[in-house]
Amino acid sequence: MENIANIIDQLVQVKRMISRLNEKKTLLEAEILAQAEQDLKNTKYKTVHYDGTMGDRVTATKAASVKVIYPSYLVSIFGDAYKDVVKEETNYKLSEPAKRMMAGLYLNEYSELSIEDVLRDIEAPPEKKELLKKKIKGQRFATDKKNLMDIAGLDEKNAEIFAYFAAEAAVWNDFLKLMAVNGKNDPASIDRALELIDSAVMVDESTKIAVEVRDA
């Protein structure tokens, strides 16, 4: 049996190597994040891809986190839908659809269009456009992107563009549905609700990266 002291020496050496590799990993990720922040700056894009020389890929994605600042405003914002989308605890938690809507409105990442308006600009046969109307929801970017590529035959870049537009349209459509449920879909009420949202929450954006390693 190998001497326990030698085993300890090897273990310590491995831990030191892991520590050095983690430090290197942190530095490399920081460089990618800095580049991603620059490439995504002043664009509507939330995702950017970088490819290595061996077929590996890194995807940087910007995500928004919603923090409730004035919970008392939430009742005015959501009205009759309050109990459906807000979970009352020590901290107020919004449902995922409500988070998407609030973040989009707060960050002005919405368009006053319907998803059907967005899809109208896609060149595709009528039957495929009808299928797109059923499949594209503006809720899950990756799913919408895949459907746009598979159904409409768009390349990755154009599929991402239309998926972003669909997401922005979904934010506004969800907001209008909320206002209609509360019987407050007149322009003055809509403007007031948008003002309340700006005061009720704070949205922070951060960028995360995911590494796709090519099979050897």
**pLDDT tens-place string over residues 125-141:** 989 999 999 999 999 99
CA 16 centroid distance within chain: 36
pLDDT recorded at residue 184: 87
Between CA 125 and CA 47 the distance in angstroms is: 28
Would 157 be classed as within a structural domain?
yes
HSE (side-chain half, CA atoms, 13 Å) at 20: 6
Would 77 be classed as within a structural domain?
yes
pLDDT recorded at residue 45: 83
- Between 120 and 91, where is the model more confident? 120
Would 79 be classed as within a structural domain?
yes
Would 24 be classed as within a structural domain?
no
Residue 66 Ramachandran class (φ > 0 left, ψ -120 to 50 alpha, else beta): beta
Would 161 be classed as within a structural domain?
yes
Q: Are 206 and 63 in contact (CB under 8 A)?
A: yes
The range of the structural domain enclosing residue 106 comes to 63-205
Would 186 be classed as within a structural domain?
yes
Q: Name the domain count of the chain.
A: 1
Average of per-residue pLDDT across 177-183 = 89
Would 14 be classed as within a structural domain?
no
Average of per-residue pLDDT across 5-20 = 91
pLDDT of residue 175 exceeding 90, the answer is yes
Would 109 be classed as within a structural domain?
yes
